[in-house]
Amino acid sequence: MIYRAGIWNKINKRHRHRSSGYTLIELSVVLLILGLILSIFLPRLTGIAGGDLKTTSRKIIGIIQYTYDEAIGRRQVHRLNYDIREGLLWVTIMKEDGEFVEADPNLFQKIFLPRNVLFKDVKTLHSGTVTDGKTFTQFFPAGRVEKTTLHLVSNKNEETTLVINPLTGRVKVYDGYIDLR
């Protein structure tokens, strides 16, 4: 291909006069993108680095709130069951005959606590303080929940207390072992 000299010179002149640095706008855009990426991934990285107690607490709170919503939405009594020794949570639903059966595994999967997080105890109205064995929290279709206090402990002896509000189903989180009567 043959280029006309006049066009080629015009293209070269444009590139010669341009500076080799970055503009303030370009730097600002790059910093904005990096800030967004860090804001998304930094909480996850801190969770991996040792925030397992907080991560586990958040997961349990999500299960509690979902169970609360499902009990109201389906108009059925639900139970969030705890196996303290095994570190296991699962949901059961009361059938019409009064028997509790495991919930649909597509909606409610059994959840094992991470190896470095354990139940210290679970306090409910129906069974008091349970430090070994199984117990449950009951969720009613009218929007009520059995008052429950969960105490979690990590292998670093960090403790967290989760308290389920019986009127709203919301969970209050406290650092340390809090004994609310």
| Residue of 80, 84, 81 lying closest to 153 (CA atoms) | 84
The reply to whether 181 falls in a domain is no
Give the residue-averaged pLDDT of 156-168.
Answer: 92
**What confidence tens digit (pLDDT) does each residue in 102-154 have?**
988 887 888 899 989 999 999 998 889 899 999 999 999 999 999 999 999 99
Q: What pLDDT does residue 63 have? A: 92
Q: What is the pLDDT, as a whole number, of residue 21? A: 77
Residue 180 lies in a domain: no
Q: Tell me, yes or no, whether 127 and 93 share the same domain.
A: yes
Q: Quick one: 81 and 144 in the same domain?
A: yes
Pairing of strands 111-112, 88-94: antiparallel
Which residue, 69, 124, 134, is CA-closest to 100? 134
Same domain, 67 and 122: yes
> How many independent structural domains does the chain possess?
2
Query: 170: helix, coil or strand?
Result: coil
Residue 33 amino acid letter:
I
Instruction: Check residue 14 and give its pLDDT.
Output: 57
Name beta bridge partners: 118: 153
Please check whether residues 135 and 113 belong to one and the same domain: yes
Closest of 64, 82, 173 to residue 121, by C-alpha = 82
What digits encode the pLDDT tens for the residues 15-59?
Answer: 555 567 788 888 888 888 988 888 887 765 544 444 588 889 999
Q: What is the domain-level CATH number for residue 161?
A: 3.55.40.10
Residue 17 has a pLDDT of 55
Whether residues 140 and 100 share a domain: the answer is yes
User: What is the tens place of the pLDDT at every residue in 65-113?
Assistant: 999 999 999 999 999 999 999 999 999 999 999 999 998 888 788 889 9
161 with 74, same domain: the answer is yes
Q: Confirm whether 120 is domain-assigned.
A: yes
- For residues 93 and 160, state if they share a domain: yes
The reported pLDDT for the residue numbered 50 is: 46
Residue 10 lies in a domain: yes
Q: Which range marks the domain in which residue 9 is found?
A: 5-48
Q: Is the same domain home to 97 and 155?
A: yes
* Residue 110 and residue 162 in one domain: yes
- Alpha carbons 38 and 126: distance in angstroms, whole number: 45
Based on the fold, state whether residues 37 and 56 are members of the same structural domain: no
pLDDT in tens, 26-38: 888 888 898 888 8
**31 and 84 in a common domain:** no
Q: Both 58 and 41 in a single domain?
A: no
